[in-house]
Structures are given as structure tokens and as C-alpha cells.
A and B are shown apart, each in its own frame.
Chain A
């Protein structure tokens, strides 16, 4: 089972929820930090890193001796990553999406394989948790392939928690797609609600059951609760605003370890997720 922890915008407490949930579940868990532009779950989890592997993607390299300048490679490239000027072929590797269409179509076998580094995958352990994070190379613009790489560490029998990138763009979709449940972390403010609605719409398109965690639940107004009722979204956990929680976070500590009374609360959050998935299955 894969639970993705997502949010309509950054800074809602998504990582607090994903890390505390992971350590509170009474079985082996894999935690994947797929927020590859800013992976920060490791700061709270403090895993012992054992492996660090760079991840590469295909980009073309043109063999000028074989190339006849026919232009077919540039024609098929939807991403304008190639320019054919007479017999000269220019490659813009940063625009390439690695579809390999240019290699397939080249009549002269002039397109060779080169590589662009997407980033690094780090993995390690902490107690019963196997932790994997993707860390995108500075200057790299494409995170979905790296996110898919992180997700490839999941086996079907695993319980996986994914810390997804915030928002509703390609990276967030790549982290949520095909998961069994989306736990959406939000705040009860007008901005929070606006971004939550967009994110919920995206999850509907993906057809994944969804539930909410309301962080700083005692600030803002009640519009969020009205929206949740109207959409039939269960609110599975409310975390009130509390100075000591903020301080624990700012010290890079885990709430359930500093304030042990939170541990059963996060354990129940997991049970509620399982219940929600099963209820939905039985309805369908």
C-alpha cells in the first residue's frame, strides 16, 4: 500500500505529517521523500544514509561523421532540443525529455547515447524505516524522472509513505499517481483553501481516495470544514496551533518522540486511512 502525503501549497506541515506518521506505524515502513527540489524529511528522521547513487537520463549525442543533415531528428523532437543547420546538429540537453524519438528515427544511426545527471538518490535506515530521497541537481529542470526513480524502490508488499512535492504540477502528479491514498495537509485559511481545492480536483482526476489533515486547525475560519463536508472529504486529523509544536519542528525533532501522547494519535491516523480505503473499496 502506498500513501502519498500532499499539499496544495508549501509550508502547510506536510513533512511533519509524513515523518510522524511513518515512525508511528507499528510495522515496517518505507518513507520516500519525493519533494526532490527541496527534500527535507531527512532533517526530522535523521536516517543513517548507506547509499548515494546519481541518476542519469538519456540525451542524444550526434556522430557528425554519420549524420547527413536530413533534419528528421529535429522534426520529431517535440521539445525543440535539437537544431539541424545544414550538416551541423546542435543539441540542447537541458530541453531534452529523453523520449529517444530522435534515436529511433535517425536513418543513419548517427544518434548516440549521452547522459544528463538528474540528481542523486540517497537511501538509508532509521529503526524500522527504510528511507529514500531524491535530490535534484541544481540547474536541472525536470523532476518527474527522478521522482519515478525514487518510487521504483517500492515493492508491491511494502507499506510506503510518499512525501510529495506541494502543488498540482507535473512533479506532484508524478508523486501521487498510482498511490492508494492521498493524505492532503492543509490550513484553514482562505489561501490554504484555494490551493487545497485545486489539489483535490487533481486527485479526483487521478481517482484516488483522499482525506485531510488540518494543521493549525484553530486559526482562520470554518470555510474549510464546510468545503470538506460538501466534497465528502473526511478530516482524519486536526493539529491545533501550538508554540511547542512549532519549536519541536524548528529544532528538527519529531513530535511523536518529543511529546509521546501524539504517537497513538498518528497511529490512529494510519488506521483511519486504512478504514477510508476499505470503505471506498466496498462501495465501489
Chain B
């Protein structure tokens, strides 16, 4: 199973970036093997509007089933929902911490956007 985590860097030890659409990287981690791919999100991050929509599409294309991030705006959330990707928000610490947290089962899925538009 693959999980996408918004990140400030390209490593599992990197800090989670709280912004979904505007994070510099999104790490797509296979939690069974801990293999991961670092998606460069900088092209989306600079978008004037709709950065979260693009990021959500990219995450979907990589086959992730869950997104872990800090804040997720309404358009990104709608896109993830349409793609049937679950969202865990208010995540902090490193990407590895986030994955551990997920594996331990102590996460709750978000049912709505927790940031205003333009995040």
C-alpha cells in the first residue's frame, strides 16, 4: 500500500511540509517495503491557483491510497475525494514519523478540508 506525505525534502528523514499543494516534495512511500519515490512538486507549488488540484492528480497517478499532510484546502480535498484517496491532516515531524504513526493505526481520516482556498 502506498502513502503520499508532503515533505520539505527528498528523504524519509525530511520534515513534513504542512502545505499540501505548495510543498516542495511529495514522498510516495510503499509502507510494506519502505521503498519510496520523491515527487518534485515545485512546478505545482508555484502555481497561482489550483496547486492542490495538480498535486492531488499527481498523487493519484502514482497510486497512493492515503495522503498525509498538514493542511488541505477545499479544491485539493475535493480532488482527492473524487480519486478515492483518504486524507490524514495535522501531521508534523518527519516523513518517517508520519509513516510510523500510520502503521501504528493511530490516525483519523479527515472528512473535510481544514484550510481555506489558496493554501
Binding site for B on A (CB under 8 A): 74, 79-81, 83-86, 88, 90, 92, 95
Contact = CB atoms under 8 A, between A and B. Distances in A.
Nearest to B49: A95
B82 interface: yes
Given A85-B83, A88-B82, A79 B57 contact: no
The SS class assigned to the A binding surface is mixed
Interface residues of B, number: 14
B65 to A, nearest CB: 13
Given A80-B53, A80-B54, A90 B47 contact: no
Nearest to A90: B82
A84 B57 CA distance: 7
B79 A83 contact: yes
Interface string B53-68: 1101100100000000
Contacts of A90: 53, 78-79, 82
A235 B60 CA distance: 60
A77 B78 CA distance: 18
Given A79-B49, A85-B82, A92 B75 contact: yes
A79 B44 CA distance: 11
A85 B57 contact: yes
B24 interface: no
B18 interface: no
B60 A80 contact: no
A74 B82 contact: no
B57 A74 contact: yes
B82 A81 contact: no
A83 B57 contact: yes
A95 B50 CA distance: 8
A92 B57 contact: no
A80 B78 contact: no
23 contacts: A74-B57, A79-B49, A80-B47, A80-B49, A80-B50, A80-B51, A83-B53, A83-B54, A83-B56, A83-B82, A84-B57, A85-B57, A85-B79, A86-B83, A88-B83, A90-B53, A90-B78, A90-B82, A92-B50, A92-B75, A95-B50, A95-B53, A95-B75
A81 B83 contact: no
B62 to A, nearest CB: 12
A180 B49 CA distance: 34
B113 to A, nearest CB: 13
A79 B57 CA distance: 14
B60 A85 contact: yes
Interface in B68-89: 75, 78-79, 82-83
Task: With a 10 A CB-CB cut-off, give which of B47, B51, B53, B78 has the most chain A CB atoms.
Answer: B53
A84 B53 CA distance: 10
A83 B60 CA distance: 10
A245 to B, nearest CB: 41
